[in-house]
Structure 1
Amino acid sequence: MEKQNPVAKVLRIIGFAVMIGGFILAAIEGPVESDGGYNGGMTLTVLFSSFVTGMLFIGFSEVIALLQKIYLRLSQNSSSDHAMSNDRNEIEEPQVQKDWQLSPLYLDAIHELYPGQNVKILATPFEDYCVVQIEGEENIEVLELGGFKPMKITADSEPKLFHKIQEWFSNRPSQGI
């Protein structure tokens, strides 16, 4: 059950009350004029202004209700994300994707991460992950490319994933990048 915002409820009630009150006022006072004639201009003015004012209140209540839904959805997602980040062993396996290429944007971002160093870069069969080897070093570094900028993945941060990619790298037919 979704929690409703009390301010949205109050604004919606006020909106309907203004519209109903305007209709009643127009029905009672509109047709009567001091000389006994019909006052159509007064009736239309009261009806229109009460309708517009009531709809503004109802519209604001809808905006608040939608913002409340978004807030609840985001707070539920962040709590589930936090719970998932505490247990790294239950992370989904990365999707295997054959023959994907690193885009020039990714290559530029990786070179910015290693300024002044000669690096060799290899796309892994796992989506959004690549291997980087700095010239003159035997160890590899694993980068995740799915975010705004490349992020290093270590054996401490994500041991299962890191070892899986390291195993793939060492079992490749051609050793080296």
Structure 2
Amino acid sequence: MRKHIRKAAVATVLAAGAALGGFAATGTAQASEDSGFVDGTGGTHNDWSDEGTLQRGDESNAVALWQTVLVADGAKWKTSGGALRAFTEDDIDGDFNGRTASATRFWQQQNDVRVTGKADRRSFSVADNNLGTVGRRGTVTYDGSFDDARFRRLTVGGVGPQVYFVSFDGSVVAASY
């Protein structure tokens, strides 16, 4: 049910944006969790340094964005028996569950970030160093250590921050909290 509500809310935002002038891949705004979206402005290498903390129990499209980073960087999660398993595209579900927390701890160890199991500001700040420049149609490539991931960063309605979009649940959705 939550996913359907999020999709409806995003569709409303997108429709409003189209009515106010459509999308543009440029614009300026302060990026932060306060906007309700993973967002950015200017160069991409500091877009995520002011994002909020994602942790166990959170369910959102912002979690799906973080899970996409985990896949691109080849993160692994630990089973109850202690075996390591690859965090894969099948694990991108927008739910910051035990598997995501475990993969986040693995990612943090690999990236010399304090290991908390939470996608916190420091983790986001390190991750955004792998973002490429904003290209055609707002495409931003994440240069993962295992594979690349693609996001879009667009201004909705020509006003406000540029919002990141992530492929999730069969469609491209705004990375909302």
**TM tier relative to shorter chain:** under 0.3
TM-score by length of 2: 0.20
Which of the two has greater helix per residue?
1
Max Rg structure: 1
Q: Give the structure, 1 or 2, with the largest relative contact order (CA under 8 Å, sep 6 or more).
A: 2
TM-score by length of 1: 0.20
Which of the two has greater strand per residue?
2
